Amino acid sequence: MRATLVFLALAIPALPAQKLPDLAAMKPCDAAAVLEQAIETGFQELDDLRIKYVENHPDVRSKKARLAELESLWSAQITRAEAQNQPCSQATAGSPRRLVDLNLPGAMERLKRDNPAHYATVQAVLDSASRMPEGRAESYVRVTYKATDVLFSPLVLASDPPKTDLTFRLDDVVYRRLVTLRVSATPEPAASR
């Protein structure tokens, strides 16, 4: 498992940076809105790539890595806004959908209060995603919960147990949460030459 992760990190080429303005010079909420648009475009491009290629194709993996990077930048802007006591509204003007970072303090409680139906589905998605073997969870979440834009970040935290970001969309809301990966207890044999 770890050798595979190292290989993936090395096999993903440096992506050409999407033309983004200088986010540091922008107000955090404005930067978050720009990133939301870039993420929306990225998911559309990922959908197009998935039609052409299998999930492990280098172009698909590269697009997933870029989306993970954009989502991390978005989360940093939301955190920056809250640190400056300027919380962004969940839906920015002109944004086709909302991004909800469930890693932020109180996010699950707000979701439970504001949208009980989504809360129940999100809980079920998070529970099943952490129990599913790596590689099968994306399609399982897509089919079972009718979620779209399901993405497990190809970047894995070097923790024990390993964790990664899961992003998925229900209706017009995109949810993001750090989840624990299920790792098989049986070591994989080394490939013979």
For every residue of 17-78, DSSP letters joined together read: PP----GGGS-HHHHHHHHHHHHHHHHHHHHHHHHHS-TTSHHHHHHHHHHHHHHHHHHHHH
In a domain, 15, yes or no: no
Identify whether 191 is part of a domain. no
Write down the pLDDT at residue 191.
Answer: 60
Tokens 């979701």 sit on residue:
111
Confidence (pLDDT) at 171? 86
The per-residue pLDDT for 123 is 93
- pLDDT for residue 96: 45
Q: Tell me if 93 is assigned to some domain.
A: yes
State the pLDDT at residue 116: 92
Sheet holding 163-170, edge to edge: 98-101, 173-180, 163-170, 148-152
Q: Flag whether 193 is in a domain.
A: no
Query: Using CA atoms, how far apart are residues 157 and 28, in angstroms rounded to an integer?
Result: 26
Which residues of the chain, if any, have pLDDT below 70?
1-18, 89-97, 134-135, 182-193
Note whether residue 17 is domain-resident: no
Domain that holds residue 110: 2-9+22-180
Q: What's the number of domains the chain is made of?
A: 1
The answer to whether position 125 is within a domain reads yes
Would you say residue 190 lies in a domain? no
